[in-house]
Structure formats: C-alpha cells, structure tokens
Amino acid sequence: MTKTIFSLLLTVIYIFLPFMFPFSPLQMMPVSTLTVGIPSFFLVLRASSARPANRMLENILDNALPASLVIVIGVMYSQAAGALFGLTTQETSTMCVFMIGMVGYFLLLRLSKPYSRGIWMMIILLGAGIVLTFAYLGGPFALESLLNRNALFCLPMIYGSYHLFKLLCGVNRKVRKLWDERKEEM
C-alpha cells in the first residue's frame, strides 16, 4: 500500500511542478525487490497460530501512510537539492529512489517484529543488498553510484527520514487513540 499511496501523491504533485517525474519503473525494480518482494515471501512463511485481525485500515494508517508521507517529503528534498546544486536528472532520480529504498527498509524493520535469528539475517542481507545496489550495482537499473558528492545529500536525508518516520508514526498513533476515545464517548 505504501507504494500506491506515495505514487498517487507524487503523481498529483508532479502535475503542477515544472519537473519530470523523478524516477522510472526500471529504477524502482531493485528497491521493490529488496524491500517488498523478497521480505514479503519470507515474512509470510513465518509460523503463526493467531487468527488474522481485521485491521487493514489501521495497518494502512499506522504504517503505509507515514512511510508514504516521508517518501514524498524526501523526494521533494531530493528534487530541490538537484535543482539548487545543479545535479543531473539521473543523480536526482537515484537519490529519490535511494530514499524510497531507505524508508522501505525502515518500514520493513517495523513490520518484521518480532525478530528471530532468520528475520535478522534477512534484514541484514537486504540492507547489504540496498547498499551494494546504490554503491556498485546500479548501472543496469539506470542508477548512479552514491559514492560521490551525492552522499552529502543522502546522509542527512537518511537520518531525517528515519526520525520523521518515527515522529509521524507516533503522531498517527496518538491521533488514532484520541479518535477511538472520542468514538467510545459518543
């Protein structure tokens, strides 16, 4: 759901901006594989005797919405950095996709709880895959290496997006709690 929400928001925003859409499906392929495809396969195989809770809307509000908002803010940050510092279109799109990958990784960390040894191994290997992709293996996916001046933009972006994601999740939790209390009073 995260990908659907941020894609919709970015599409609406980029209708009004004088820039091209910041990335292509080819560029998103490694990020989607490493933060959605592979983890989904392994997480669904976890043994669970609990019945599925009817919490789809709550899960979307608790997880997908904050992650999507962080991604949209990060893409706007990358676009602004690209415009202000004369980065190429490919450099800017690589930073956007990297940020999407990092937020996807933060979301994966959140959704993978409770952790087991196998889950930790998966998380570490996927994190290494993301780093390797953006450092050395991005060529076939039209991604530039981030082992250059663009790291100066990406490091604060990673730090800020992690803390913004935590903040938005906390705010969302408090708003939902207040909403639930208000519904009970009625």
Cα 118 to Cα 175: distance, rounded to the nearest angstrom: 34
Q: Tell me what pLDDT residue 26 has.
A: 92
pLDDT beneath 70, residues of the chain? 47-53
Q: Tell me what pLDDT residue 161 has.
A: 92
Q: Is residue 84 part of a domain?
A: yes
Convert the pLDDT of each residue in 37-69 to its tens digit.
989 888 887 766 666 567 777 777 788 899 999
Q: Tell me what pLDDT residue 162 has.
A: 92
Q: Tell me what pLDDT residue 52 has.
A: 59
Full-model pTM: 0.86
Q: Tell me what pLDDT residue 47 has.
A: 66
Q: Is residue 127 part of a domain?
A: yes
Q: Is residue 122 part of a domain?
A: yes
* Residue 23 dihedral angles phi and psi, to the nearest 5°: -155, 165
Q: Tell me what pLDDT residue 177 has.
A: 85
Distances (CA, A) of 16 to 11, 19, 72, 150: 9, 9, 14, 26
Q: Is residue 104 part of a domain?
A: yes
Q: Is residue 108 part of a domain?
A: yes
Q: Mind spelling out the 3-state secondary structure of the chain?
A: CHHHHHHHHHHHHHHHCCCCCCCCHHHHHHHHHHHHHHHHHHHHCCCCCCCCCCCHHHHHHHHHHHHHHHHHHHHHHHHHHHHHHCCCHHHHHHHHHHHHHHHHHHHHHHHCCCCCHHHHHHHHHHHHHHHHHHHHHCHHHCCCCCCCCCHHHHHHHHHHHHHHHHHHHHHHHHHHHHHHHHHHHC
Q: Tell me what pLDDT residue 153 has.
A: 78
Q: Is residue 51 part of a domain?
A: no
Report how far Cα 19 is from the mean position of its chain's Cα atoms.
22
Q: Tell me what pLDDT residue 53 has.
A: 66
Q: Is residue 18 part of a domain?
A: no
Cα 9 to Cα 100: distance, rounded to the nearest angstrom: 14
Domain encompassing residue 34: 2-13+24-43+57-185
Cα 165 to Cα 4: distance, rounded to the nearest angstrom: 17
Q: Is residue 19 part of a domain?
A: no
**Number of structural domains found in the chain:** 1
Q: Tell me what pLDDT residue 68 has.
A: 92
Distances (CA, A) of 21 to 16, 58, 79, 93, 104: 11, 30, 10, 9, 19
